[in-house]
Structure 1
């Protein structure tokens, strides 16, 4: 597979929906596209976005989702459409969707993933020494990311999974994924990509656990609601631990003082979505009674980001694209601490495109308050054997 095309990135800030989609199309369109991927502000008219995407990209697989903010060529943004196109010269893609997430059955998800793998194998049969990865975009209010990501990765085997949960700019009303020419809720879209290009999956997190332990003593796991912590009303006990009044709990409080669960030597953020009127806390991630959480504190976010990007630059070379799935609470923390310019400089230097999420998926695990993604390098130079 010779590299003839390139990954193209584009973004539109046009306020008119049709104009925004047309500008996006003009920026990413190229000959023989394997896939178009876009991230769309919920301020745009979904029906018009769907119509224009289908009209402008006939015969091309196009997938996308709604956001809580976009990441594009200029950095962090809102009220925009951003995304990329992948050339057939370097990528083979197969797209599939899973509906009715509320009735999710792991066995059916695994069967679906096996069918998609078979399709990829057949479609990529002419590729020499390919490797690949899976992209997952899912309804961010479905509360089904954990079993979905786990079942997919179990069936995909060595093909690593990366993804993000669709968002709706903190309205917490409806989130959508786009496939087959229209937007869907209670659904997920899965893309398997094969490429000879070098790539690197990553999960970046700058929080470390403290010794302060909080035990979930009453919960509603199906709805990710914690009713009691340490035998006391959850919001009250959490507020006491971070030194504020319950009435002062806001998304910024949750961003600055997250809770983590420690498994082995790895910590995973269990981010709080909201404090509720009944004294409970709603989380972005799975919780259960008996779960031991620890209060975490952040290390230098910018330094952590620089080191992480430097590491995969050293491994695969300067990336022509970094797909980034960035948690909404991480985004809030960056703004709260005045780090936007420093983070955006890193994003621009590494060709980051992506969106602000309600959760991230990394190799079958649903996580929060992280930046997950995949860095894709340029084509390796051909060796002259003459």
Structure 2
């Protein structure tokens, strides 16, 4: 079966390597080899093992009836959307690792795939090499998914782990992560939580069957987390993780991305470094967790090639996933209830006046007090926080 890759960066070249390295086992499992016929990239790669495959016009791939499966690893929404749409309309199934494309255009592309009796899949778009998408769409289809919690950005998890272990400040560990290649030159999408936001939107769309607008998910990153926050967390027996959460509320879900205080008895507490994990709670299964490498050329490429084999097994047959274009109206995130850890310069008498019953978590630091609130809604907390004033930081308990 002839296949093509659009985008020959880190992931695209990793896909080619997996196809080369594991060609025998893929042939055995599929019943025929996957033969790479085209690679779309504007750059030249002299000396590459697949040098003869390179083309610069996506229409060459679209018009070749031999090609049945196409991989998109370009990144971004455009021109990826235009190219993928053209492939689906030409009767080719597509797999992508591009979470921006899936979060923004996933429902639309799946509708186009259905109309053309082909498939659009995206295992590698969330969690890299972790098989979470097919777990939700195949293995857990008998469950109602009540909650999902994901540590799904290796950059921020690496940074938080090192801040905790070595007492590093945010700016210091960001510079280190950039020097090691874990963080981009412009790290905004990672450190402000936007990458995690898109991923939890995709997962929630899949389990709800409706389209979640990632722009409507309250999102906080880690740029305001400090070494002092970790000192407090340690004194209380907690860690701090950037968690993307989705919780069933009636007939819908409420979503949030934010730093949370997590305790050792909770599964995601133990996810460290650049690793990713997704915890899923079903109404029948209970809690299960899917853990592994969330980024990197070969782990992500492994998931892409798994999708390619799935697509090759389902040529000329649309496999329903169940993500419609109908918008999911998310539950009001301000009605979510949490306990909060707060650092403030306010006087203790004012703290007790505004928050009543609190527990103190002091480190004997000058000019600030740390305290834990009772459980309350986000709306109520924000009102009391504004009335208290002097807030240095506030972190929710998971």
| Bin of the TM-score, shorter chain as denominator length | under 0.3
Tell me the TM-score normalized by structure 1.
0.26
The structure where helix makes up a greater share of residues is 2
Given the two structures, how large is their TM-score scaled by the length of structure 2? 0.25
Higher strand proportion, which one?
A: 1
